[in-house]
Amino acid sequence: MADMSGQDPSEIKMATVDEEKKGAAFSGTVILAMDAEGGEVVFFRDFLIEDYQGELTAYLATDGNLTKSIDLGELKHKVPSFKMPIPMGTDTSPYNTVVLRDEKSKKKILTIDL
C-alpha cells in the first residue's frame, strides 16, 4: 500500500468483513479511527462490494440500532478505500457497529461489529 504521509487514520476499533448477503459479497476492513486531519472517521479500507446494485447509506450505530445512530451518508463503493467523517464533538464510545442500509427499501443489508 502506498504511504500517504501519515494520512492513514489511527485505529480505535476495527472490523474485518467477509460476508455474503442477499447475493452480494462484502469484504474489507472497517475502522473507527482518529483522522490525521482532525476529528474521527469511519475508514473503509480495501472495501469491496460485489453484485450489489442499490445505493447504500452507512450509519455508526449502537448494537446495530438505527434509532441510536449517526448517519454518515451514502457509501462511496466505487472506490475501495475512503473515509466518512463523524460530526465533530461526537462521543463515539457508545457506538459499536456500522450498519449499511439500502436507501430504497430502508432494509439493513449488513451490520458490522466493531
How confident is the model over 79-104, as pLDDT tens digits? 889 999 999 999 999 999 999 999 99
Beta-bridged to residue 70, according to DSSP, are: 60
Residue-level pLDDT at 111: 96
Domain count, the chain: 1
Which H helix or E strand runs over 18?
strand 10-21
Domain assignment present for residue 34? The answer is yes
Q: What is the pLDDT of residues 17-63, one digit of tens each?
A: 999 987 899 999 999 999 888 889 999 999 999 998 889 999 999 99
Domain assignment present for residue 1? The answer is no
Domain assignment present for residue 67? The answer is yes
Residue-level pLDDT at 4: 41
- Residue 95 amino acid letter: Y
User: Domain span at residue 99?
Assistant: 10-113
Domain assignment present for residue 41? The answer is yes
Domain assignment present for residue 46? The answer is yes
Beta-bridged to residue 98, according to DSSP, are: 60, 112
Domain assignment present for residue 21? The answer is yes
Domain assignment present for residue 15? The answer is yes
Q: Which pLDDT band, with edges at 50, 70 and 90, does 3 fall under?
A: very low
